[in-house]
Structure 1
Amino acid sequence: MTRQVDVIIIGAGTAGLYAMSVVKQQTSHFVVVDQGPLGTTCARVGCMPSKALIQTADDYHNAQRMVREGLLSETPTMQPQAGPAFALKISHMLSSKISERVSGGLGEKLIQGRARFVAKDTIEVNGQTLQAKAIILATGSEPVIPAPWRAFGARILDSEGVFQLQEMPKSLAVLGLGAIGLELGQALSTLGVAVTGVEMAQHVANLQDPEIRAMALEQFGKQFPLHLGHAASLSEGENGQIRVQAGPLDIQVEKVLVSLGRRPRVADMGLAEVGIALDARGVPLFDPTTTKVEGAPIFIAGDCTNDRVIFHEAAEEGKMAGFNGLREHPQRFQRKTPLGIIFTDPNIATFGMGYEAALAAGAQMASATIHTESRAKVMGVEAAMVRLYADPATGRLLGGALISPRGEHMAHTLVWAVQGGLTVHQMASMPYYHPNLEEALFAVSSALSKQCKGGYEGVPAGLIPA
């Protein structure tokens, strides 16, 4: 017998829970299907435990600096299990609250099991058939590990398993230096692990801007060795270690952290069998302004879209899917200006239009060093920079990139300026408190203002004629 409901939400992660928060305002006839474990990826094994590990590393680094400056008399000693244990504690605290709220609050509306489509509006789970007016697909993603490497067992870590370590390894190779690999690699290196980074591309963090990219390579290369431009191969080493080879690199390490990205969790769900058009990665074709899948009463949100795989984007897509699920004509929504932040030290951030797109659009570009600002000198900043791109005809800020301590805050200011349509002329006329890292924004916006039309001519930078 088929059970009829208004909405089926597949996945109780960030996107699914945000979708549910909107759906429940429209109907009480919905179910949430989740294969477990309950608790969002962010809270369990993603952004929150990684930030706990990074915070531990930052605190340890700051303590070491205070010893060097003569402010502390005793060199701190890091306990081998301290970093992962703290990250696991934070993970458990946050994810348990979410899972308790989901399991306790939903009651019979929660079905724990794996869903499979048997029609465009119907799924099977645990031998039960459910049909709905709308299905919201929010199944998230999972780390990619090449199948042959799984033979190394517990010596291979992914970005989730690293938080389950009982203690830190003595040596570690990080394969893949995107956001996750760079964050975890630097944190573990700071905590005393002998880390070696390997990246097949010639850059880290997928950075496009050549000036930011060069500074990033210089700064992170001082902290742990980076080997770029070669794919890695793994084989058995001596004394239970793993041999890692990549171009001229040939080392043996205790463990390997594989950070080659994440894949959408949409395989083996029967999507193709019921006639859903899929892209090359098996993701349903959909409209990102509505989240609706082509030719079906299905809406897709979160990391399983393989589009904007960031928490705030997943939350927004979840709300869009929840809002549109029961509407006869889905509402289109404007998407927010792209913002990406990597929580390394220094932070890396990109906002708005990327470098290559800005270059193709004929944008004017300018840069300013941040480490030369007075506040940066007090902080001991060695190198930091902000780059902005603007429309030469109007001075409107289009995007940019930066590498700087506390850059996460500056990046928010800048992405708000992009989305708000501010010009570099307006940015140069904003108040900048001294001493502050943001004073570099005055320098770069003033320089860019001179290259673009529409500014206040004949007056010093920063002044507004009355």
Structure 2
Amino acid sequence: MKQIKVDVAVIGAGTAGMAAYRAARHAGKQVVLIEGAEFGTTCARVGCMPSKLLLAAANGLHDAKAQAPRGIEGTHALEANGEHVLAYVRSERDYFVKGVLKETDSFPPDTVIRGFARFESRNVLLIDDSTRVEARSVVIATGSTSVIPEDFKVFGDHLITSDDVFDLKSLPKRCAVFGAGPIALELGQAFARLGVDVFMFSRKNKVGALTDTPVRDALIKALQQEFYFDPDATILDKSMQDGEPSLRFKSLDGTERTERFDRVLVAAGRKPALASLRLEKTGITLNDKGVPLFDERSMQCGDSSIFLAGDCDGTRPFLSDAADEGKLAGDNAARFPNVQSVKRKVPFSIVFCEPQVASVGASYDDLEKQMTVTGTVSFETQGRSRVLRQNRGLLHVYAHARTGKLLGAQACGPAVEHLGHLLAWALQLEMTVEDMLKLPFYHPVIEEGLRTALKEANRKCFEARAQTAPELPNAVGC
């Protein structure tokens, strides 16, 4: 067996792993990057980029078909050629993957080990049965894998996950989608807009990771205008009938219904890909899901020389956070035991369905409601949104009732990928609603909707200050 001794070993060559590898090498350390699967990152191969390519094609067709109210008419009917759409998505996807592979190909060959790693002890890794690596520090960046509940396996090869979608050679005619998180919403709506008869099922009204009920309900209402969507579904039976997946369920009107499909897409979540690492050999503490307990400010697992980064930590499953966590983990692995903590960026997520979804800052469930005011705008009546015929959705902005400091926001609506960034930057800068209202807003733009919400929040702050002024004479104004 080959024996290798290094300063830092990084397990996983995805976004987080490559960031950790680069950081440790930049610190002048001897580093190896270990990967058993394909290079190319989840984002480039089966995540962010191909899903947005599919959505772009679907939205282009949807928008072209929606011009009649503006007086744009014609007799030529547009439709999706599923084979060509998927071939286009794969071609462009391969362009993004090629960019990642160009980087990994540039890594010195002696710093890359192909194979699957497992721990022999806290500082020793076995790569398959051919290589033994002793490292002063280890960064675990193994990513995540799709969750497939056992009862869905009855559908056999008619069952697909988000990892399989882009290998399809043609679009299904009818597809059941399970889950209503970011992946399910994006792929389900893309399918529907490309002509697939979509039935989407979720449980307990878990939709788009939204915890603010009115915002979530506005999203549900908008999506139900495009395809069958039950956010709190009761599935009575799953089976195969005459070679087709069959579902028996309670429909939205309360009656029992049975439908058959070509495909069943399970997008009910992903789990950290840690099972094969034999973490029990490390002695570090794991939670009830088998994920190491770690400090999000340093990515260190306890006081050990093991660091965690990316989707495998089960917290922020987004590329930007994976890159941040990878660099932080790589920096600290290189300087171990002199580990340093940092202030993390504001939590921020976007779903690229239409209407888009954004969650920024503190979760609505975690807010102290008695000390929080909410500013609201409905995009149904917002000027620019109506001009664009994208006037669906709702924005809620949260602020501290006495200080006016921004706490967070949840929204579904047009272009909230941009509104979300504005709010995330403002939160990172610890601005108040009054600070934001002093900034320029052009006309007519969707950002004016944000200003409307901020004005309402600011007014409520003044009211809260007035009510508490006798008790708190030194309270900070909004």
TM above 0.5, yes or no, is yes
The 1:42/1:15 distance shift into structure 2, 3 A limit, reads: same
Q: Distance in 1 between matches of 2:29 and 2:373?
A: 53
**Bigger mean CA offset, 147-156 vs 72-81:** 147-156
1:281-339 CA-to-partner distances (Å, cap 9, x unmatched) read: 11111111111112421111000000111111110000101111122220001111111
2:8–2:29 Cα contact (<8 Å) kept: no
The 5 A counterparts of 1:202-351 are 202-230=205-233, 232=235, 235-247=238-250, 248-327=256-335, 328-351=337-360
1:396–1:421 Cα contact (<8 Å) kept: yes
1:226-280 CA-to-partner distances (Å, cap 9, x unmatched) read: 1232354664333321012344443111100001100101002111133222111
The 5 A counterparts of 1:12-411 are 12-27=13-28, 29-67=30-68, 69-73=70-74, 74-126=76-128, 127-230=130-233, 232=235, 235-247=238-250, 248-327=256-335, 328-360=337-369, 362-411=371-420
Gaps of 5+ in 2: 251-255, 467-478
Q: SS state of the match for residue 95, structure 2?
A: helix
Q: Distance in 1 between matches of 2:234 and 2:179?
A: 9
Look up the equivalent residue of 1:211 and give its one-letter code: P
The 1:361/1:309 distance shift into structure 2, 3 A limit, reads: farther
Q: Distance in 2 between matches of 1:372 and 1:218?
A: 16
1:138–1:302 Cα contact (<8 Å) kept: yes
Q: Distance in 2 between matches of 1:203 and 1:119?
A: 40
1:383-442 CA-to-partner distances (Å, cap 9, x unmatched) read: 232111111111111111111111100110011111211111122222210010111122
The 1:292/1:231 distance shift into structure 2, 3 A limit, reads: farther
Look up the equivalent residue of 1:307 and give its one-letter code: T
Per the TM alignment, residue 58 of structure 1 is displaced from its structure 2 partner at its CA by 0.9
Say if 2:443 is the partner of 1:434: yes
Look up the equivalent residue of 1:36 and give its one-letter code: A
Gaps of 5+ in 1: 458-466
Per the TM alignment, residue 96 of structure 1 is displaced from its structure 2 partner at its CA by 2.6
Per the TM alignment, residue 114 of structure 1 is displaced from its structure 2 partner at its CA by 0.3
Counterpart of 1:462 in structure 2 is: none
Counterpart of 1:424 in structure 2 is: 433
CA RMSD of aligned residues (A): 2.0
- Taking structure 1 as the reference length, the TM-score comes to 0.94
Per the TM alignment, residue 365 of structure 1 is displaced from its structure 2 partner at its CA by 1.1
1:395–1:454 Cα contact (<8 Å) kept: no
**Bigger mean CA offset, 163-172 vs 24-33:** 24-33
- Taking structure 2 as the reference length, the TM-score comes to 0.91
Q: Distance in 2 between matches of 1:116 and 1:431?
A: 54
Q: SS state of the match for residue 183, structure 1?
A: helix
2:155–2:240 Cα contact (<8 Å) kept: no
Counterpart of 1:463 in structure 2 is: none
The 1:301/1:234 distance shift into structure 2, 3 A limit, reads: farther
Q: SS state of the match for residue 268, structure 1?
A: helix
Q: Distance in 2 between matches of 1:37 and 1:233?
A: 39
Per the TM alignment, residue 361 of structure 1 is displaced from its structure 2 partner at its CA by 5.6
2:307–2:329 Cα contact (<8 Å) kept: yes
Question: How many residues end up aligned between the 2 structures?
Answer: 457
Q: Distance in 1 between matches of 2:236 and 2:110?
A: 48
Q: SS state of the match for residue 322, structure 2?
A: helix
Q: Distance in 2 between matches of 1:234 and 1:184?
A: 24
Q: Distance in 1 between matches of 2:71 and 2:78?
A: 13
- Percent identity reads 32
Q: SS state of the match for residue 400, structure 1?
A: strand
Per the TM alignment, residue 208 of structure 1 is displaced from its structure 2 partner at its CA by 1.2
Q: Distance in 2 between matches of 1:239 and 1:68?
A: 43
2:39–2:101 Cα contact (<8 Å) kept: yes
Look up the equivalent residue of 1:201 and give its one-letter code: K
Counterpart of 1:460 in structure 2 is: none
Per the TM alignment, residue 445 of structure 1 is displaced from its structure 2 partner at its CA by 1.1
1:7–1:132 Cα contact (<8 Å) kept: yes
The 1:23/1:361 distance shift into structure 2, 3 A limit, reads: farther
Look up the equivalent residue of 1:168 and give its one-letter code: L
Q: SS state of the match for residue 175, structure 2?
A: strand
Q: Distance in 2 between matches of 1:79 and 1:148?
A: 33
2:6–2:134 Cα contact (<8 Å) kept: yes
The 1:354/1:132 distance shift into structure 2, 3 A limit, reads: same
2:11–2:142 Cα contact (<8 Å) kept: yes
Q: SS state of the match for residue 335, structure 1?
A: coil
